[in-house]
Chains A and B, each alone.
Chain A
Amino acid sequence: MADEKERLQEIAPPPMAMLAEVTHRCPLACPYCSNPLELKAAAQELSTEEWADAFRQAAELGVLHLHLSGGEPASRRDIVELVSAAQEADLYTNLITSGIGINEKRLDAMVDAGLKHIQLSIQGVDEETADLVGGYKGGYKRKLQLAEWIGARGIPLTVNAVCHRTNMASIPEMIELALTLGAGRLEIATVQFHGWAIENRSQLMPTREQVEATTQLVEDERKRLEGKLVIDYVPADYYATYPKACLGGWGRIGINVDPTGRVLPCHAAESIPSLEFENIREKNLHDIWYHSSSFNAFRGTDWMQEPCRSCDRRLVDFGGCRCQAMAIAGDANAADPACHKSPLKDKMVEMANTAANSGDKIEFVYRGR
């Protein structure tokens, strides 16, 4: 029994973080939005009380960090109450925002309610590019204004920048912008091809040369800015040797709750058709985390096929991203095709190359438009 308990601890430790997608509504329309293609309507969203209950359950389960996200979380009228509820549950609360819909008064109310950290997305290093990518005129100026207000209040700020082929050359400027805005942290994430990004793959896919140059640049800049700016970087994996340890292992670290209360191991998990998801309106979070078929689907190593099953790195990268395996291998139990051991590695590189070299004309398919 003790062994069984230990094994369970190992494959299903208590979760550290909850990503609460409190709404899918958003004034922006980024062509790489990670929300699903079918966006949930406002009428289906969890109520303030339902979210408050979810936060309490999360804290009892071991969650320390809460990320209020969306869509645009400030599109919820009760965003201040949601922050209060999270504070009451003793969670460390982070707001992931586009910056639209937050004036000074609302910012103060959220800070008073216990907000600890703000992540502000920036879609480009100048007004024209940023507003083109975000699909929202005037957005860039509002973001800069919000960053100034955040700085004046001494709230830790992270700048979130999604990088892709059309903006990778301007990462040095993005780093300078983050410093100018007083950010302590910069998150540079290469676009992941789930959701809306798949629709825009040929315009977003970086070239191998770009990926290599960016990885080197980030390494150098981290050294230069040590103690000044923390840079977290999610590299592209199409041309890599090993896959990313997606989520740090399925059902090991985080819980994702969608606007309607569905509980997912990852925000892209819906792309795996064999999975069925539980709803927090019907089941408690503890049961879902430990006993649901979706969270247990890819825990441990029993589900793995070769080459993962006998691989030395099976507990290092956990077979890579399940959604990428689904998307490219057509099998969520297969090795992530980003891995050099995958029989589909060549196909994946070829696909990336084709997309990356398909011209520079920008005609985005915008989210929800």
Chain B
Amino acid sequence: MSEANTLTRDSVPNLLPGVMMKHDEIRERTVLLAPERTLALDGTGIAIIEAIDGKSTVSEIVHELAKKYDAEVQTIGNDVVAFLRDLINRGYVGFTDGG
């Protein structure tokens, strides 16, 4: 079983070393930069990345975003977990188990 599948609501995600957000002025978009990788972020992606502080759990991030965007925790929760799992597989994000 791969590690990415063990991300839970109690996990604490962090940006891996060398991963950073940058505004790409030429292409008028925000990107996430990592070794040999570039990922264009949409508004949701930016909000999730900004909420990753290396202390908050997935659950806390979800609640924060739900409050900020006045959206349902359930819906946002699924989006956040899917997004983070994808970023873990692609080498942008790591996590530690909280709780």
Contacts and interface: CB of A to CB of B under 8 A. Distances in A.
A226 B36 CA distance: 17
Interface string B16-47: 11101010101100010111101000000000
B4 interface: yes
Nearest to A153: B17
Contacts of A90: 22
A224 B18 contact: no
A224 B2 contact: yes
A16 B35 contact: no
Interface stretch (A38-46, A59-67, A189-197, A313-321): A59-67
Given A184-B16, A227-B89, A65 B36 contact: yes
B2 A92 contact: no
B38 A156 contact: no
A227 B22 CA distance: 23
Contacts, number: 65
A358 to B, nearest CB: 34
B72 to A, nearest CB: 28
Contact of A155 (B3, B17, B34, B38): B17
Given A62-B27, A117-B18, A227-B89, A158 B2 contact: no
B68 interface: no
A304 interface: no
Given A62-B26, A62-B27, A116-B18, A230 B2 contact: no
A154 interface: yes
Nearest to B91: A230
Contacts of B22: 64, 90, 92
A227 B2 contact: yes
Given A230-B90, A230-B91, A185 B27 contact: no
Contacts of B16: 156, 184
B2 A226 contact: yes
Contacts of B36: 65, 94, 117, 158, 185, 187, 232
A70 interface: no
A265 interface: no
Contacts of A16: 38
A228 interface: yes
A158 B16 CA distance: 14
Which bracket fits the contact residues of A? 20 to 34
A115 to B, nearest CB: 10
A289 B94 CA distance: 37
A223 interface: yes
Contacts of A227: 2-4, 88-89, 94
Nearest to A184: B91
A140 to B, nearest CB: 23
A14 interface: yes
Interface in A191-246: 223-228, 230, 232
B31 A64 contact: yes
Most buried by B among A60, A64, A225: A64
Interface of B: 2-4, 16-18, 20, 22, 24, 26-27, 31, 33-36, 38, 88-91, 94
22 contacts: A14-B26, A61-B26, A62-B24, A62-B26, A64-B31, A64-B33, A65-B36, A65-B38, A92-B33, A94-B35, A116-B18, A117-B35, A119-B35, A156-B18, A156-B35, A185-B36, A185-B91, A225-B2, A226-B2, A227-B2, A228-B2, A230-B91
